[in-house]
Each structure stands twice: as C-alpha cells, then as structure tokens.
Amino acid sequence: MGVLVPALDHRVITGLLTTRLARTKGRRLLLVHGKYAAGGPEEFTVPADGGARRKVRITHTTSVLGLTDAWQNHLATEGADLLVITTDVPGERISLDLLAEMVRSQIIAVDEADIVKQLFGATDLDSRMRRDPWLWLPAALIDAEPDAAQGGWPQQGAVLTLDTAMRALVGVRLGLEGLFEGGSSVDVDALLAWSRTPGGPERLAALSEAERHGITEWLAQSAGEAAPVLLRLALQGRGAEATALGVLASVMAEGTASADTAVALGSVFGLGSRPSELRAYARAVEGTLTRWIGEASGRGAQSEEARQRIVDVLNQADRLADGAHLTTALADNPFLPSGFQARLHRLADALSERPQSAQVAWEHVAEHHLAALLYPKRVELARMAVRLRRWLDAPEPAVTSVGQAVRAHVADWGWVDRALAQLWVGDGEAEPALAQAYRTVHDAARQRRALLDEAFAAELGPWVQHATAAQPGDALPIENVLLNVAVPLAKQRPPLILVLSGMSSAIAAQLGEELTGAGRWSELCSEGRRAAAVATFPSVTAISRATLLCGRPVSGGQSAEKEGFAAFWEKHRHAAVLFHNSEVPGPTGQPIDARLVAAIASDDVVGVVLNTIDESLNHGHQSSLADWSVSRVKHLAELLNSARGQGRPVVLVSDHGHVLDRTGAEVGPLAAEGVESARWRTGTVACEGEVALCGPRVLENGGRVTMPWSEEIHYTPRKVGYHGGAALAEMTVPVLVLAPSAELAPAEWSELPRESVQPSWWDAEATSAPVPVPVRPAKSAAQAKPKPRHEEGELSADKAVAAPAAPPAEPATLTLGQKIITTTIYKHQRKFVRKPPEHKVVATVIDALDHAGGTLSLAAVAAAAIGSGGRTNTRPEGLVAVLTRLLNIEGYEVISLIDSRTRVRLNCETLREQFELSEESM
C-alpha cells in the first residue's frame, strides 16, 4: 500500500505559507507533500513582513519532470514571486539544482497543528488535539477560519485549549458567532434558537461525519444530555419542530410513562434517544419556555415577539401530540394549551363536588404556566365560579331589615353580584362541559340572590311608609350621606366627593379592591365597615343624585344639584363647588379642566359627577359592565391623583346602583299600567316580582309607585342594564372613604383593613373571623390641657382603646403566639429591643398572621395589635420594624413587609424553627 497523500486546499496552503514565509530567505520555490484540491485558486496573495503581500502561484505534479517544467515556466513568467508545488515525488528523486532553489532544500510536510497555532496566535496546543478522537479538529479549524476581513480566528497568545478551539469552531460552523464571547459555554437555549434558523441544521448536515460526531460529543459535554437529542432532530431536518418536541418529551420526566406512551414517544423521536436524554431534553425545553414566558410578561415589541413565539411553539406541540396520540398522556403538562383545557375540564367536574375540591382544581388551573400570560381572564372567571360555589355552600343568608340588607349587600351580596356578572358573560372559549358547569353555579347563585331581593322588597314596604332623614330606622338614607360621612371628614380636610352615577356594590367592590390593594389609598370607616345607604324611590338619577348632593329629598337637574350642594355646605361653614361630567375635561392636552384643578387645590369642598357607568347601561356592551377598573371610569384616575397630591380624602359614592339584563333577546318588556321608566311605574297593583311603595321618601306620583324587585322585569325596550327598581343592586348606595393617609381619619373613625372588606368566602385562605377594627376615640373637653410628650411610636393615652370585656378563659391549648413568647430564645431576644411591645401584642399579631395563612395587610396587623388591648406602636410600619428585631434571628427572614410594603408576611415554619418549638408543641 502506498503512502497516503494528504489533500490540501487553499486554506491549508495559506496557513502553511503564513508559518513559513519568514524562513524563505529570498527563495521562491516551496514543495509541499500532498495534493492540491481541484478547483482551488491557482494564484493568490498572502501577507508578508511589514504589511506587504506576496503573490503566490500554485500547481500540482506527480513527476520529477513535471517539477522541473513547473519551475522553468515560473521563471519565465514576468512578475512571478513564489511558486508552490504540491507533489508526491520522494525527496531523494529531486535534482540538486531544484533543491538549491527550494525553501529549506526539502519537501515540506504539512503540520496542521503548527498552522492552527499560527492562525490563533497561540504558542502551543492542547495535547488532546493531537490524539484520538480529536485528530480531525486541526484540519477543521484551518478549513473554517473566518476571512481576513472578519478578523480571522481570535488571537490567544497562549495555549489553545480544546474547549476554546471547539467554541470557535462551533460558532462558525453552526452560525453561532458571538455566542461565546467572554469564554461562555453553549447552552440549550442557543441551540434551540439555532435549530429554528433557516439553514442552521443544514450547516451541520454538510460537515464530514467525523466533524459532526465530534461537535455532537462536545456539545453533549458542554450543554448536557439534551444536546445530542436536539442535534439528531436537526440532522433529520426537524429543527423547526425541536422545541415543540421537547414539550412532548416531558411524558418521560417522572419516569412513570406507560409502555404505550414510551412506544409512541419513540416513534416521534426515532431510534437512538435514551430515556435519560429525553428527560434532560424535556427539562431544557421547559427552562427555555419559562424564560420566554418571563420575556413575554413585559411590554413592547420584544414581549409581543416572545408571546407569539410561545403561542406558535405550543400550538405546534399540541398538533404533534395529537398526531402521536399523546394528548391524554400530556394532560398534566403545565405548558400545553391542551393541558390548560384539561385542567379546566377537571374544574368543571369539581364544581359539582365539595367547595374544597373546586378550590384545589382552580389552583391547578392557575398554576399552569400560561395562565397569567395568555388566559388571565379565563382563570379569573374560573375563580369567580369557585367563589360562588363557596358562597352557595355557606349558610343561607337572611334579610331582617332594610338597613341590615343594604349593609350586607355592600359587604357580601354585592360581591356575589360581581362574580355573577362575569359568569353570565361567560367564557367564549369554554368547552360545553365547562360552560354548563358555570351556568349551573350561576343559576343556583342567582336563585338564592333572587330570594334575598324578594325578602328585601318585603321589608321595604313597612320601612318606606315611615322612614325619613330624621328617623331612618337602622338604615342610612342617601340624603344623610354628606352629613354622616363627608361633614366629619371636612373637619380634618375638605374632601373630594366623587359621584359615580350608577355604581353598584359589585363595581364598588372591584374599584375598592384595586385602589386599596396598591397601598396608595387607605380606606376609612366610622363603624368598622364600609358604609351603605338606601337610594330614593324610585332609584333613578334625577331624584337620587339630587337628593344625595343636596342632603335632602329633592328632585331636580344639574342646576338644582349645584345650588343644593353649595347650600348644604354653607350650612356647615364650608364653601363648595360641584362639577358635572361635561365640565371635567380640559382642552387638548389637559385631561382635567383648569378650574377643577384649582378647586381641588383650594380649601373648598369639591364635588364631581362622573357618568361613565350610567351611560354604559344604555350604550355599552354586557361584557363591559361585568368587569370594571379605575382606568375604565373616564377621568377617575386623574381626579384621584389630583386629590392625593393635595392631601384630600375622597368620598367615592353612587346615586343608585343598577341591574344587568339577563333575560335574553327572546324576552321583551313587560306590558303594565302607568309605565314611566324602565324599572318603575305608577300603577298601584303589584304583580309577581313587583312591590308597591308609598311614603315620604317616594318622590314621584304623589308618593306612590310600583317597582320591580325581580331583575328579570323591565318595562321599556331592552338595554344592557337598568336602574330605578327595588332590587338590592339598584337600591344600595355604596360609600367608600379613601384617604392618602389614615391620619386624616376623624375622631372615632379608623382605617378599614382589606381583610375586613372582603367577605370570608371570597378567598379560600381568608379567615372566617372578622378582623378587629381599631377605633380612634373622640377627645373630650377635659383632655384639652397639654399632655406629656410620648416616645415616638407609643400609643398615647388619648388614643387608648376602651377597656376590653372580661378576658376569656385561658385556652386549653396555647396558640402559636403564646408558645413563642414563653420560649427562652424570645425572652433573651427581647432584652436587645428598646421598648418592645407587650407580650400579648406580639402573641396576638403572630396568631392573627398564622390564622390568615401568613399574610395580612398593614392595617389588619395594626388592628390586631390594638385589639389585643396592649400598649403598642401606632404606626404599623414601626410595629413591624420592632417585630423584625424580635423575631428575625441571625438574619433569617421570619417576618417582613411585601407587596411594596403594604402587606406583612410571617413565615410560620421558620418562626417555629428559629424559636425551637418541639414537634409536640407544634
């Protein structure tokens, strides 16, 4: 067998010349052992010393005579410089005259390692590059060298390591240049992106078998077991499916896949993929998808691009799963859209079971990785269904009086209406089983709500006959809202009174949740709960709004409202001005009129009427009336910001509520006697679903009207919603008092914790016991003399809570808080805290947080502390700061402020560990 003649291309020759030109010593002939590749350039230039370039001619011959002829022709060529001849002629056959002309007087054998060192500017190579299985690498590096215009290979100046060489080679061969800047290693993220690039996988397929195998092995070591699977898919021409196929591989993640599933998955990936590789590949793809979801959660073009990429890949994965009959096996996948649908299907089944089952099923829906990104409204709708399911499982509520009913509606039943409105609109993408489950819950809750409306109507008749502003019974008439709510606030700071015409208790619940949840507004109260008033009869704008703003039962338009508003406040020694909806916007570029801005900046009481909600009843869409936010009420956000900037409290109030039309297009208006409006008439004979009312607060038809209590009745052509009737949703007027600081609370008022506003069934983790609300006592005349100065943060005597009732009997079992304060560690820690709260304060706060699942608002923590009856810090933030010094031992975060410092979190497990509570005591 003859000696193997190496194939030499233009790049090898160029690399060889780069290493040899310095030693030519003026000679112009270079013989190289090998065969020059056909089709390569026969003339080119190479860099020489001093920035100059030398012209090179190259040819190949297999005989001594050919060598002589080539040299003679070169000498005869004008301007010829350097001749390179590749040949397999043995050196001993070359004539002496040629030897005298040759560089180094011998045939040069190509040492690819030397060329690589020269190309990378290295002094030596990693010894592994000279041994199996990396013998292919030097030739590949020479062949892949970037053009001189691109700077060639990066210069090393030291030993060229195997990993550095492979990073450089993979970057160029696979089109991943720039990926390894700073010496970073490859990851599956980059390879997945590469697999989807046009022509990327084809570049790998075009390499020699040895180079493909070497790159695959190195990537497996660098990027993990996932890399070989991905590269095999790329070589099969399935790079565009690679990410989607990684989602399918998750069926192997737990190692519990059935034999049929394993066979189905094997048919997708083909031969050669081990289970461990598939599991690694699935984990890598899930990590990539998780990062994409994080990118898509922001705003801007990049987020939209990431969102679309996620949708495309996961829809593709669902199609592949369906084609491979793997959809059922992937039902629990947290990324697939079909997995989200499967979770909703399980929720549909659970809604007919115990409420706890429905809650667990909903949590499973919410934990899907696409829930918040792609399906937030569907998740929230499912949550509403679960909430209603909890409400239906609670004891059946009752109506005992008008006042009790409207208070219960603001505190509880209005939240039911909020969930019902969303469930009525429904989920347009829901499968029939889920839609039916929602409708079943909706109808059951509507039936119970209708019974409450009927019971309320029965109480209205006797109450209306005798109720007046002076003698309202146990209710708050709408004409007394300014007197009972706004006047006390004005003693601290003149309020901004925002009348959201048509705002129901359901909308008020959502707006209040948004405004207080951000921590920018504190809600204040005078009786430990959100106030609720009773609208006029009938509950229409022309009567109820004028009555609210004038502070007395009256009917009138905008001029009567302005005059009555100013007159009311004049009696209470305040100047006042009222702006109606058309007077709010300013000129172009100015969202609020300058006169309104100036009024809010003054010391006048300011009233503003906003009609967005009321107008939506006539011109809106049913889905829009089911879900409200601050931004949807035109001008509301700007007005709230302006009031906050001026340190004003805000009274957010309605003139009446409304009901939505749920009758369907096939049900028309009810033909009745004396129709005056959509929801009231003058006829005196009440039919089914109606109530006849008469009394001093009935301001139409001489004090006698008939109004429907049933939401299904309307007398005029169909609209999105109606008002004017006797249903709780129409008659209840929610009153929210918001302040930039709880310090604006009048005497005997307090901050209302969020936990006290939401009904107990609204959140599964909510405590069933009401959160205590601290009351700020009034100052008596005897307290007018100066008092001694107290240390900052202490509760002064004039703010002490009234003496509590006799303490209950000591419980048989100590609470978590009581256990903590009896430990030796706590007693030791207490020595290092200046003026620590009393033991019972600390214990009560711990127990309140423990009972609430570990998280409460700052207001609720302060309420619990003051409710303990002990001396404590009046500032909630100060109290939490002291508790952190008491409970956060050795830097472990036991108690902390979260959600922009608006809520308090207690890690009960860490608390027990840090204070060494035994298993028995837990």
CB 404 within 8 A of CB 459: no
What is the C-alpha to C-alpha distance for residues 191 and 303, in angstroms, rounded to an integer? Answer: 21
> Is residue 193, in this structure, part of any structural domain at all?
no
What is the C-alpha to C-alpha distance for residues 536 and 726, in angstroms, rounded to an integer? Answer: 10
Using alpha carbons only, what angle is made at residue 219 by residues 218 and 222, rounded to the nearest 5 degrees?
Answer: 90
DSSP codes, 333-399 = -SS-HHHHHHHHHHHHHHTTS-HHHHHHHHHHHHTSTTHHHH-HHHHHHHHHHHHHHHHHHSPPP--
Count of the separate structural domains present in the chain? 4
pLDDT of 824 strictly over 70 = yes
Please check whether residues 87 and 31 belong to one and the same domain: yes
> Is residue 324, in this structure, part of any structural domain at all?
no
Q: For residue 897, what are the domain limits?
A: 810-914
Q: Alpha helix (H) ranges present in 272-332? A: 275-296, 301-323
C-alpha R_g of the chain = 41
Give the pLDDT mean for 791-798.
Answer: 36
DSSP codes, 557-612 = -HHHHHHHHHHHHHHTT--EEEE-GGGS--STT-SS-HHHHHHHHSSSEEEEEE-H
> Is residue 440, in this structure, part of any structural domain at all?
yes
DSSP codes, 82-103 = EEEEEE---GGGS-HHHHHHBG
Work out the burial of residue 600: count CB atoms within 10 Å of its CB; fewer than 13 is exposed, 13-18 middle, 19 or more buried. buried
Mean pLDDT of the chain: 86
Highest mean pLDDT among 2-16, 101-115, 515-529: 515-529
Condensed to tens digits (0 to 9), the pLDDT of residues 602-653 reads 999 999 999 999 999 888 776 667 889 999 999 999 999 999 999 999 999 9
End-to-end CA distance of the chain: 85
> Is residue 650, in this structure, part of any structural domain at all?
yes
| Buried-exposed string 177-193: b where 16+ CB fall within 10 A, e elsewhere | eebbeeeeebbbbbbbb
Residue that finishes a domain, picked among 85, 110, 135: 110
Please check whether residues 733 and 848 belong to one and the same domain: no
> Is residue 275, in this structure, part of any structural domain at all?
no
What is the C-alpha to C-alpha distance for residues 290 and 284, in angstroms, rounded to an integer? Answer: 10
What is the C-alpha to C-alpha distance for residues 41 and 558, in angstroms, rounded to an integer? Answer: 93
Amino acid at 244: A
* Of the candidates 842, 727, 851, the residue with the CA atom closest to the CA atom of residue 454: 727
Condensed to tens digits (0 to 9), the pLDDT of residues 725-737 reads 999 999 999 999 9
Please check whether residues 618 and 743 belong to one and the same domain: yes
> Is residue 213, in this structure, part of any structural domain at all?
no
Condensed to tens digits (0 to 9), the pLDDT of residues 33-86 reads 888 888 889 998 888 776 778 889 999 999 989 999 999 999 888 877 889 999
Please check whether residues 504 and 624 belong to one and the same domain: yes
CB 355 within 8 A of CB 412: no
What is the C-alpha to C-alpha distance for residues 620 and 87, in angstroms, rounded to an integer? Answer: 89
Please check whether residues 505 and 446 belong to one and the same domain: no
- Higher-confidence residue of 763 and 498: namely 498
- Give the per-residue pLDDT at 528: 86
Please check whether residues 406 and 520 belong to one and the same domain: no
Residues in the chain: 922
What is the C-alpha to C-alpha distance for residues 821 and 840, in angstroms, rounded to an integer? Answer: 8
pTM for the whole thing? 0.76
Residue that finishes a domain, picked among 66, 81, 110: 110
pLDDT of 779 strictly over 60 = no
Residue that finishes a domain, picked among 453, 487, 504: 453
> Is residue 181, in this structure, part of any structural domain at all?
no
